[in-house]
Amino acid sequence: MLVDHDRRRHGAPPPDSAYGAEVYPPRASALRRFLGGSPAGVFLRLLFLSVLVGAFMSMLGLTPGRLFWRIYDSARALLEIGLASLHDFGGWIVAGAVVVIPLWLISRLFAASR
């Protein structure tokens, strides 16, 4: 079996010197990888976005406190709706069981007597 050892065909970087040392781009630090760029650049982008969002919230008359309580009230209302639905569903189960279980029991008693 023939194997192609030419590194140029496989996308490897060319050797740096005649001795075959390869040149790779410097690895980014763990902090730069985590942040997605340089800390100063990320800080400036976040600062700019914070100013834009703050101005937009100010135009709508929202404060962080009001926003928190609005989210809290919405979540609580959704939870109450969900629990009310479960309560209704439980009522349907009980109402159906009041009819179905005695009928099933009677049918099993008649089937056992045969």
Residue pair 13/24 in contact (Cβ under 8 Å)? The answer is: yes
pLDDT over 80 at 54, yes or no: yes
pLDDT of residue 107: 92
pTM metric for this prediction: 0.45
pLDDT over 90 at 18, yes or no: no
